[in-house]
Structure 1
Amino acid sequence: MFKSKFKMKFVIALMFTLIISFVGGIKVEAATSGDYTIKPGGNSTDVVNIDNGVYQIEGNPGQTTDIKLMVVNKASDTRNFIYYSSTAYTNNSGTISYDNLNVKDPSLKIQTKDAISPKKSTFKVPGNTTATLTLKLTIPEKKFAGTLMGGVTVAPYKEKAKGTVSGNGTLIKNKFTYTIPVQIHQKGEPQVQPKYSIRTVTPNLVTTSNGPKQGVFANVHNSTNSYSGILSAKAVVTKKGNKDFKIVQSFDSQNIAPTTNYNLKISWGKRALQSGDYHLKLIYKTQGGIKNWVLNKDFTITNNDAAKYNKLAGIKPNYLWLYILLGILALAIILGLGIYLGKRNNKNNGGNDSQPTRRRRR
């Protein structure tokens, strides 16, 4: 059985969907809660290895196997659930997600979700009962190196979310979704190293704890079927022709899935965006710093983009330079006009004084 470098701690990846509404005089009923969980079922075989709650599959192209998925309903009532398979991707928070059923990437040749059947279905689980789903997984016929990543996800189906009222009168409703990761490797094929690159750097609004800020999105791409584990990242932005300009931002827990791209968001903080040519140096490191990748990208911010995102971030234009320039121009005009008028007045008044004097005869 292959020992995957893709080991992740037991995700059963828990995702919250937050729905916000306001409580007035209306009675709010909480229909459901997250009183259920899922876990891998069955035992490890020569094809399926259940490691830390992750299905690790290794076999020959076209080979099929069963994987067991156990759904534990902790509530007393029968509940409806929906199951779906998905391809892993990296969201713009830098974490691996499984909630997109239409993952796209220029390097993505094989969708992990297509290897699992059924791709999607609904089912019922009686109260205080554990149901076991048997899913069929087919290792893709198409040859590939490295490891494919995806997941099997379960969520309540057509249930209202359970709500709790916060101190300010806001009702926060939670829907609980659980995912077990799936990793597929073809027997005899080599593992591959990550190949990270920065595709584009574009101005945008960056969500921060202090609200939206002006900044840039660096679209980072992993073009291979590889996973390096949790990474730290450091972004350094410099401006060409300005040695005093530097923005440094660090990121923890960046989780880049195979054949995926995501937007790393770099805030300008209190600085306003200014037009010009810039350079981004981005350094990724594995835990412990054993491996690192240094990425570089030149980019340009236009006047229009700077003005647009500064305005959206609430930064008012600074016209001090314009006022100073206008003041200098006004002073120059006044001085010039004064000199001109002085010379003209002097010329007019001194016209008679400039006449030659006659000598008196003795």
Structure 2
Amino acid sequence: MKKISLTFMLICLSLIGGIFYSSSAVSAAGFNYTATPILPSSQEQDVTSYFKLRVTPNQEETLQVKIENQSDENQKFKVIVNTASTNQNGIIDYSLHDVEKDSSMKYSIQDLITSDLPIVEVAANSEQIVSLKLKIPEESFKGVLLGGITIEPFQDETKQEQVNNVYTRTFAIQISENDEPIPAKLEAGEVSLSQINYHNVVSLLIKNKAPTIITSVEANIKVTKKGQTEPLLNEVKKDMSIAPNSQFFLPVEWKDLFSAGEYEYEVTLHSHQQDWNFKKAFSVKDKEAKKLNDLSIDEKSDSGTYIYPILVFIKVAVILIALYLFKKKR
């Protein structure tokens, strides 16, 4: 049942996160192509939509993706291998390349897969198969390795015309040697202050120290000012997933300007495997609060109460004065 749920989760995440595992055409701003994975002999038979490989130590395998250029012009594509990470929304991401890896990660997929042609050119109205070499380490490993292969239309940065909306294809890769269950192991790191879309947030670093995928995670977060029992912030996040040996910041929106002081961030994480509870004290310093508040679009609860009516009054007054002067001139 667990094996089936992980497979179902990977497929669902592909739909939610915009990761495509099947061949489908893209036609946007001049890009018109399809990409399809060619599954190898080590592919597990219960999955056909992404790379799910059962391997042995020191094994070598060739992974292939067929790119079909459906346009009337030659097109170039970048072939990028990524190690799976977890984003701030609690979603496993297979498409990010330069992500800080957790120190517990023994093997990274992007270090095990190489390509002789990081950029390939496909002639107009033709197709080409891209081959990548997978080399499994000599030493046996436990759990799963997770990552992805991204096909991205290449844009020459030296040219003036650049397309903003570039559609990519990412195919997940899951590699294991056996079905031995690995206990989940979460740890908490530091608390940090930052912004998301110019809104103040406070975040706790969460680390998955085990080579296992953690699914169906619910996070109950509360932030309390030191010496008080009533939380300043309460938030519940559901249906989160965490990639193996990954780390991510779990944010909660402050919904106000930061105020200097001492606080505590507490989160309870619940999954079908087990529960975790973390409490971390943190400080908001005057200098850091001012720096972030100056950039924030958040406001004190009463600071904007009178601004909008005043602006409306000024606009109406200007219109009335203009009408009066116009009539007087006539």
TM-score (norm 2): 0.74
Residue in 2 that maps onto 1:280: 266
2:275 corresponds to which of 278, 293, 314: 293
**Amino acid aligned to 2:280:** D
More strand by share: 1
After TM superposition, the structure 1 = structure 2 runs for residues 237-248 of structure 1, keeping only pairs within 5 Å, are 237-248=223-234
Q: Superposition RMSD on alpha carbons, in Å?
A: 3.2
Aligned partner of 2:92 in structure 1 is: 96
Choose which of 131, 141, 144 in structure 2 pairs with 1:144. Answer: 141
Pick the aligned partner of 1:312 from 283, 295, 312: 295
Work out the CA distance in 1 between the residues paired with 2:279 and 2:116: 39
Task: Measure, in 1, the Cα distance between the counterparts of 2:280 and 2:100.
Answer: 28
**After superposition, what is the alpha-carbon deviation per residue over 1:129-167, rounded to whole angstroms, capped at 9, x for unaligned?**
33222322222223321000111111111258xxxxxxx
Name the structure 1 match of 2:105.
108
Match of 1:355 in 2: none
Q: Indicate which of 198, 218, 222 corresponds to 1:236.
A: 222
Structure 1 residue ranges without an equivalent (≥5):
16-29, 161-170, 319-362
Q: Deviations over 1:238-296 (max 9, x none)?
A: 233112333111224533211111111111113643401314123244xxxx4453331
The equivalent residue for 1:206 is 196
For structure 2, which runs of at least 5 residues remain unmatched after alignment?
20-27, 302-330
Instruction: Output the amino acid matched with 1:9.
Output: I
User: Where do residues 146-185 of structure 1 align in structure 2 (5 Å cutoff)?
Assistant: 146-158=143-155, 173-185=164-176
Question: Which AA in structure 2 matches 1:81?
Answer: F
3-state SS of paired residue (2:118): strand
CA contact (8 A) 2:184 2:208 kept: yes
Q: 1:68 aligns with which of 58, 64, 69?
A: 64
Deviations 1:10-47 (A, max 9, x none): 738647xxxxxxxxxxxxxx9623x22322114x63x2
Measure the CA separation in 2 of the matches of 1:85 and 1:181: 10
- What do residues 83-137 of structure 1 show as CA deviations (whole Å, max 9, x unaligned)? 1212111233433333214642211221111222327522122233332223222
Write the letter of the residue equivalent to 1:268: W
Counterpart in 1 of 2:309?
Answer: none
1-side partners of 2:156 and 2:166: how far apart?
A: 9
* Of 34, 44, 60, the match for 1:49: 44
CA contact (8 A) 1:275 1:303 kept: yes
Q: Are 1:83 and 1:155, in contact at CA under 8 Å, matched by a contact in 2?
A: yes
Larger gyration radius, structure 1 or structure 2: 1
> What one-letter code is carried by the residue in structure 2 that aligns with 1:299?
A
Between the aligned partners of 2:177 and 2:79, the Cα distance in structure 1 is 26
Which of 268, 279, 285 matches 2:254? 268
8 Å CA contact retained: 2:57, 2:139: yes
Query: The residue matched to 1:127 in structure 2 has which SS?
Result: coil
Query: Residues 35-90 of structure 1, C-alpha deviation per residue, up to 9 Å, x if partnerless?
Result: 22322114x63x22362522111121101122221212222222111212121112
* Maintained 8 Å contact 2:258/2:284: no
Q: Deviations over 1:191-218 (max 9, x none)?
A: 31321222111222233xxxx2223121
Contact 1:196–1:293 (CA under 8 A) maintained in structure 2: no
Q: Retained in 2: the 8 A contact 1:145–1:190?
A: yes
Contact 2:116 2:132 in 1 (8 A): no
Contact between 1:272 and 1:315, CA under 8 Å: does it hold in 2? no
Aligned to 1:83: 79
Who is 1:117 aligned against?
A: 114
> Are 2:55 and 1:59 aligned?
yes
Q: CA-to-partner distance for each residue in 1:291-338, whole Å, 9 max, x for gaps?
A: 4533312212133234443343256799xxxxxxxxxxxxxxxxxxxx
CA distance in 1, matches of 2:118, 2:298: 49
Code of the residue aligned with 2:219 in structure 1: it is: A
- In the alignment, the residues of structure 1 paired with residue 163 and residue 130 of structure 2 have an alpha-carbon distance, to the nearest angstrom, of 32
Query: How many Å separate the matches in 2 of 1:309 and 1:282?
Result: 27
Change (3 A) 1:130 1:300: same
- One-letter code of the match for 1:49? E
Shift of 1:226: 0.8
User: Aligned partners of 1:224, 1:131: CA distance in 2, in Å?
Assistant: 38
Q: Secondary structure at the residue paired with 2:263?
A: strand
Runs (4+) off by over 6 Å: 315-318
Secondary structure of the structure 1 residue equivalent to 2:141: coil
